[in-house]
Every structure is written in structure tokens, then in C-alpha cells.
Amino acid sequence: MTKVISFISRKGGTGKTTNAINLATFLSDGKKKVLVLETDANYTLNSLRKLELFKLKQKKDTYFKIVGSQDNRVASEIVSLKARNNYDYIIVDSAGKTTDKGIRELCLESNMVLITTSITQNDLLVAFQTVKDLMPATVLNKELKLCLLANRIPRFTRMSSVRTQLALINIDVIDTYVPQRKNYTTPSTIKPDRHYKYVGEQIIKQLG
Ligand SMILES: Nc1ncnc2c1ncn2[C@@H]1O[C@H](COP(=O)(O)OP(=O)(O)O)[C@@H](O)[C@H]1O
Ligand SMILES: [Mg+2]
């Protein structure tokens, strides 16, 4: 059965795209059938894939699919994709406006929603509001796991202190964090980043 993991947050710059693509390359490297849906009108990942293929001088795209969508239709697209059952995982990189009707519908079709946040005060407040906006979806969709994913955390920070910071937002937290690393500023849509393996494993473990 296709599992849907969506990256959502109320504001840009929290790490949705970075984590969506790293999770996708991790799963694809593990021989899972993956589809990425991106709803950001910049279609960053589509462009990045094209650029990578150009650099590799490959005309044919043989890697997992990255498909452009929009917040207002992504949920209905997922419904038909799930019915066809061609994928193990659909990863959604959303544009991030939690008040959109489309984003709420996306939550109803997701198995897991990951809210990326750093532990700066501003990001924590945004994450708090994001959770508040999305919480009603967990009542309607009992399958939904709404989790925080700590991102851009200074290296060598203890997970226990990250947890303390995140405790004000009363939902599950992925059991590791994504550090601030230079390699995450230049992600690949093709080659998995070995540093992300453990994060990917923890996400899938928590998805159950
Ligand atoms: N863990 C990280 N380490 C270093 N840079 C990061 C990390 N996560 C995100 N970034 C950088 O922060 C910026 C915003 O990240 P992005 O994933 O595009 O956010 P969003 O999709 O939520 O708008 C990008 O320039 C990205 O390279
Ligand atoms: Mg993005």
C-alpha cells in the first residue's frame, strides 16, 4: 500500500524541500518506488533534476519521478495515485500555507505530516501555529501521524536539549534531528546523501 509523507509548514525556509528530497533519495536508494509531488510554484526539484541530468549528459530520466502539482489539487491527485498503487511512497513537498483548504485535504490523504522547524524562537512559534492549524486533521484522519522534524540544528547539540525546546509543541518528535550542514544546501535529486540515512530510517520507523 502506498504511504504518503507530506512536508508542511506555515512559512518558507524551514527545510521542507531539503528534507523531502533527501528522504526521497534515501528511500529510492533502498529500492523503494518513490514519487515526489511538489506544489511550490517555483518547482525547484523539477528544475534541479533537469540540471543534474544535463550535468550528467543524460537525455533520459531513469530516476524516480518528480511531478509538479498545486496545493489545491494535490490531495485529489494522491487519491487516484493511491488507487493505482504504483508507489511505495509518495513524498509531498508543499508550498506551505496551512490555512489553505488544499493543505487540509492533503492532511486527510497523508499517513504522516512532517513539520520541519529549527529551534530558533521564531521558527518554534511558526511550528506551534502550524500544528494548531493542522491538528483538526488528526481527528478526521485517525491514521495520520503529525510529527515535528527538527532541522538545521547546530551540530553536536544533544537530542535531549532539542526535545526540551520542542516540548512546548505537544506532538510527536522524530527521534533524531537534521543538523545544519553545508551539504544540505546543495541537495541532489539523484544521489542519496549518506548523512541522511539515519534520519530517513528514523522517519520510516516512526511511520510504522
Ligand atoms: N539542515 C540544513 N543545513 C543547512 N542548510 C539547510 C538545512 N535545511 C535547509 N537548509 C537551507 O535553508 C534554505 C531553506 O530550505 P528549504 O528546504 O528550501 O526550505 P522550504 O522548502 O521550507 O522553504 C535553503 O537554502 C536550504 O539549503
Ligand atoms: Mg520549499
Q: Give the residue extent of every domain in the chain.
A: 3-207
DSSP H or E segment with residue 5: strand 3-7
Q: Which of 9, 16, 18 to mutate to test the pocket of ligand 1 (most atoms within 8 A of CB)?
A: 18
Is 4 in contact with 85 (CB distance < 8 Å)?
A: no
What pLDDT, on a 0 to 100 scale, did the predictor assign at position 43? 84
pLDDT given at position 99: 76
Q: How far apart are CA 203 and CA 175, in angstroms?
A: 8
184 Cα: distance to centroid of ligand 1 (angstroms): 7
State the distance from the centre of ligand 2 to the C-alpha of 5, rounded, in angstroms: 15
DSSP letter (8 states) at residue 124: H
The DSSP output letter for 12 is T
Render pLDDT for 67-111 as a digit per residue (tens, 0 to 9). Answer: 999 999 999 999 999 999 999 999 999 987 777 889 999 999 999
Q: Label residue 68 exposed, middle or buried (CB < 10 Å: 0-12, 13-18, 19+).
A: middle
Quote the radius of gyration of the chain (alpha carbons, Å). Answer: 16
Residues, CB-to-ion distance under 5 Å, ligand 2:
16-17, 40
Residue nearest to atom 3 of ligand 1 (CA): 180
What's the pLDDT tens digit per position in 109-158? 999 999 999 999 999 999 999 999 999 999 999 999 999 999 999 999 99
Atom of ligand 1 nearest to the CA of 151: 1
Distance 164 CA to ligand 1 centre (A): 23
Q: Of all atoms in ligand 1, which is nearest to the CA of residue 19?
A: 17
pLDDT of residue 103: 92
The one-letter amino acid code at 78 reads I
Under 8 Å between Cβ of 38 and 73:
no
Q: Can you tell me whether residue 88 is helix, strand or coil?
A: coil
10 touches 16 (CB < 8 A): no
Q: What local confidence, expressed as pLDDT, does residue 93 receive?
A: 97
What architecture does CATH give domain 3-207?
Answer: 3-Layer(aba) Sandwich (3.40)
Ligand 2: centre distance to CA 45 (Å): 9
- Whether 12 is in the pocket of ligand 1, judged by its Cβ within 6 Å, is yes
